[in-house]
C-alpha cells in the first residue's frame, strides 16, 4: 500500500492471569482526514465460552479499533503482538487452506476472533505492522496503559494524555 492510510490504529491487550484473566483491551484510532480521535478500553472477566487470555485480548483490541471505520478505508494497525500481526497477515492464508487447522493438524486457537477480524478487514484495506512493546513507543505505551488499566479495573490514560503524543508522532 503506497497510499497513506486514512486511519492509524494502535491496539493492545492484557490478561493478568494467562489463561484466566481478568483481561483488558486498549485501542487508539486517529482519522487523518478530519483529525478525529477515538480511543477506549474494555475489561473482561470472561470471554463467553473462552477463557480470557492475552492473545484473545490482543485480538479483541484490534477488532474494537476497526469497529465503525467506513468500508473501503485504508487503515494501518500497529500491535506489539507478533501473534496478532503474523496470524492476520500471514498464517491465516494457510489456516483457511487447511480447513482452520494448524500445520500439525490441531484446530486454530481463537478462530472466532480471527475470522471476525478477517471479515472486517475484507471490507477495509488493512495493513498490520508490528511495533516493539515496552520500548518507549508513545502510542504503544498508551494502549498498553489502557489495556492494563482495564484489566485491573483502574482508569487508563485520558484524551489529555493521548493528544500531545499523537501530535508528536503524526
Instruction: Give catalytic residues, as residue numbers.
Output: 12-13, 58, 80, 134, 144
- Please report which helix (H) or strand (E) contains residue 115, including its range: helix 111-122
Q: Which of 65, 47, 66, 67 is nearest to 57 (CA)?
A: 47
DSSP secondary structure letters along 32-96: TTTTEEEEEEEEES-BTTB---HHHHHHHHHHHHHTTPPTT-EEEEEES-HHHHHIIIIIHHHHH
CA angle 26, 32, 38 (to 5 degrees): 30
The C-alpha cell that represents 10 in the structure block: 494502535
Neighbours of 60 (CB within 10 A): 25
14 contacts 144 by C-beta, under 8 angstroms: yes
Amino acid at each position: 500500500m503506497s497510499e497513506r492510510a486514512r486511519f492509524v490504529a494502535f491496539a493492545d491487550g492484557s490478561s493478568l492471569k494467562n489463561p484466566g484473566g481478568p483481561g483488558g483491551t486498549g485501542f487508539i484510532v486517529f482519522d487523518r482526514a478530519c483529525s478525529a480521535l477515538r480511543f477506549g478500553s474494555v475489561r473482561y472477566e470472561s470471554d463467553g465460552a473462552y477463557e480470557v487470555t492475552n492473545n484473545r485480548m490482543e485480538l479483541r483490541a484490534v477488532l474494537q479499533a476497526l469497529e465503525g471505520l467506513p468500508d473501503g478505508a485504508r487503515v494501518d494497525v500497529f500491535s506489539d503482538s507478533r501473534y496478532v500481526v503474523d496470524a492476520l497477515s500471514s498464517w491465516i492464508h494457510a489456516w483457511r487452506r487447511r480447513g482452520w487447522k494448524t500445520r500439525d493438524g490441531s484446530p486454530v486457537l481463537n478462530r472466532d476472533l480471527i475470522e471476525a477480524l478477517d471479515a472486517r478487514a475484507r471490507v477495509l484495506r488493512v495493513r498490520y505492522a508490528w511495533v516493539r512493546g515496552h520500548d518507549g513507543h508513545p502510542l504503544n505505551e498508551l494502549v498498553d496503559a489502557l489495556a492494563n488499566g482495564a484489566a485491573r479495573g483502574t482508569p487508563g490514560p485520558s484524551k489529555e494524555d493521548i493528544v500531545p503524543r499523537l501530535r508528536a508522532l503524526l
